[in-house]
Amino acid sequence: MSAVITGGASGLGEATARKLAGEGVSVAIFDLNEARGRDLAAELNGNFCRVDVSDEASVATGFAKARNLQGQERILVNCAGTGNAFKTASRDKATGEAKHYPLEQFERIIQINLIGTFRCVAMSAAGMLGLDPLDDGERGVIVNTASVAAEDGQMGQAAYAASKAGIVGLTLPVARDLSGDGIRINTILPGIFSTPLMNGAPEHVKEALAASVPFPKRFGLPEEYASLAVELCRNTYINGEDIRLDGAIRMAPR
Strand pairing class (183-190; 140-145): parallel
Contacts of 105 by beta carbon, 8 Å cutoff, 6+ apart:
84, 86, 159
The per-residue pLDDT for 74 is 98
Q: Of the candidates 228, 245, 226, 136, which has an alpha carbon nearest to the alpha carbon of residue 183?
A: 136
Query: How far is it, in rounded angstroms, from Cα 192 to Cα 249?
Result: 9
CATH topology of domain 2-245: Rossmann fold (3.40.50)
Which whole-number Å values give the CA distances from 234 to 82, 127, 141, 185, in the listed order?
28, 20, 9, 12
Query: How far is it, in rounded angstroms, from Cα 239 to Cα 175?
Result: 7
Segment 26-54 shows an average pLDDT of 98
The per-residue pLDDT for 247 is 94
Indicate if 160 belongs to the active site: yes
Model pTM score:
0.95
Residue 209 confidence class, pLDDT cut points 50, 70, 90? confident
The per-residue pLDDT for 195 is 86
Which residue is catalytic, options 101, 160, 225, 237? Answer: 160
* pLDDT of 70 over the 80 cut: yes
The per-residue pLDDT for 96 is 85
The per-residue pLDDT for 251 is 87
The per-residue pLDDT for 56 is 98
Burial class (CB in 10 A: 0-12, 13-18, 19+), 84: middle
* pLDDT of 180 over the 90 cut: yes
- The pLDDT tens digits for 8-39 are 999 999 999 999 999 999 999 999 999 999 99
Q: Of the candidates 95, 77, 63, 56, which has an alpha carbon nearest to the alpha carbon of residue 6?
A: 77
The per-residue pLDDT for 94 is 83
| Contact yes or no for 109/83 (Cβ under 8 A) | yes
Helices (H), 83-115: 103-109
The per-residue pLDDT for 199 is 79
Segment 130-143 shows an average pLDDT of 97
- The pLDDT tens digits for 94-105 are 888 898 998 999
**Residue-wise burial string across 62-78, b where 16 or more C-beta atoms lie within 10 A, e elsewhere:** bbebbbeebebbbbbbb
* pLDDT of 201 over the 80 cut: no
Strand pairing class (98-100; 89-91): antiparallel
Provide the CA 15 distance to its chain's centre, in angstroms.
Answer: 12
Which whole-number Å values give the CA distances from 20 to 94, 115, 118, 184, 228, in the listed order?
51, 25, 22, 17, 11
Q: Of the candidates 140, 153, 147, which has an alpha carbon nearest to the alpha carbon of residue 71?
A: 140
**Domains in the chain: boundaries:** 2-245
| Contact yes or no for 183/113 (Cβ under 8 A) | no
Segment 183-190 shows an average pLDDT of 98
Out of 47-61, 111-125, 195-209, least confident range = 195-209
The per-residue pLDDT for 21 is 98
| Contact yes or no for 160/251 (Cβ under 8 A) | no
